[in-house]
Structure 1
């Protein structure tokens, strides 16, 4: 009887340690805009000097409905910093955004915003996407330097993935 209590106590003590030591299983997945290079892609490519996001550009995941480049994650706060020197891709009024996925969740939709204005929404048809997906988005009357917030709303959790893309629209 004593051995069972000791084993249970040891298990109860080790469980939280294992959760803390094994977060990689949680952060090993997901997706980001790879072209034009999103802010996290620029970090991963070392175009801009960044912290932890350079190692996991696919991990900007937060609750659905946010309007921030970092998905509400404090460890990726630098993605919200407009003074960081993000390179703006030269584009026309229509842009093809390419998502790269490391885990392919069933998809509700993809949304694209400039400021608070939604400029496009593409249905995901509650399907699992292929490894890459491209959307052609019309930027409307927006010109000059713009930051597009791209959101991948996944269907199988309450979360979404976020990416900001800096553009110079001619």
Structure 2
């Protein structure tokens, strides 16, 4: 087949595939995606069907990506759990404080785990917890969080692997709280945000 005819045929095939709703995969760098599995994140609860009426996040629990630099920058207050992305807005809905909560013990050793569906060079993983007296029936804001991470793991640009885990200690808390995990990507302007409801008893 002459080169010109080949180019036309390839272009027509790509157009037909796109029109059929099948994505055309182009060679490009892999993008990072991920969410916490321990404690169980809101994204994970939606993906497994434990929580209903989550919208599109049930199919893309790994895609909660927004600007990095938290807490000085990043998602606006009230939109933190969805990383400021309107597609994932159900994650910001407190549901009257009724999200399923992982039972944990304050002051005890705990291993925080992620599932990454695409790995990227990493600056750090950081973990924040809500203050005593926070309002679980309201969307998360900076004022409700202790803005110093209770756990941080630095990677210096290295890859974390597909299932990173971070041994640490749970904060000394009681009752229901929210843990915000932030995965800071090293070579883009973004981070991944993962909110997990916990119950310290």
State the TM-score bracket (shorter-chain normalisation): 0.7 to 0.9
Give the aligned partner of residue 158 of structure 2: 127
Matching residue of 1:158: 189
| Offset of residue 92 of structure 1 | 1.1
Q: Which moved more, 1:152-161 or 1:78-87?
A: 78-87
- Equivalent residue in structure 1 for 2:167, among 121, 127, 136: 136
Instruction: Say whether the 8 Å CA contact 2:125–2:182 is kept in structure 1.
Output: yes
Tell me how far 1:140 sits from its aligned partner: 2.6
Q: Is it true that 1:105 corresponds to 2:117 in the alignment?
A: no
State the shift of 1:24 in Å.
8.7
Distance 1:58 1:156 in 2: 18
- Residue 116 of structure 1 is matched in structure 2 by 146
Give per-residue Cα distances to partners, 1:36-66, cap 9 Å, x unaligned. 2100000001010111000010000000023
Q: CA deviation at 1:166?
A: 0.5
Alignment partner of 1:77: what SS?
A: helix
**2:38 maps to 1:35:** yes
State how 1:26-105 maps to structure 2 within 5 Å.
30-49=33-52, 50-64=54-68, 65=70, 66=74, 68-83=80-95, 85-93=98-106, 94=108, 95-105=110-120
Q: Once the two structures are superposed, what CA deviation does each residue of 1:94-150 show, in whole Å capped at 9, x if it has no partner?
A: 432111111101000011111133212111231011110111232332221010000
As a proportion of its length, which structure holds more helix?
A: 1
For 1:91 and 1:62, the matched residues in 2 are separated by: 28
State the distance in 2 between where 1:35 and 1:102 align. Answer: 16
Residue segments in structure 2 that go unaligned for 5+ positions in a row? 1-14, 130-144
What is the alpha-carbon distance in structure 2 between the residues aligned to residue 36 and residue 75 of structure 1?
Answer: 23
* Alpha-carbon distance in 2 for matches of 1:151, 1:23: 31
| Superposed displacement of residue 22, structure 1 | 4.8
Taking the aligned partners of 1:31 and 1:24, their CA distance within structure 2 comes to 21
Supply the distance in 2 between the matched residues of 1:124 and 1:55 (Cα, whole angstroms): 29
Shift of 1:23: 9.6
Name the SS of the counterpart of 2:171 in structure 1: coil
SS in 1 for 2:81: coil
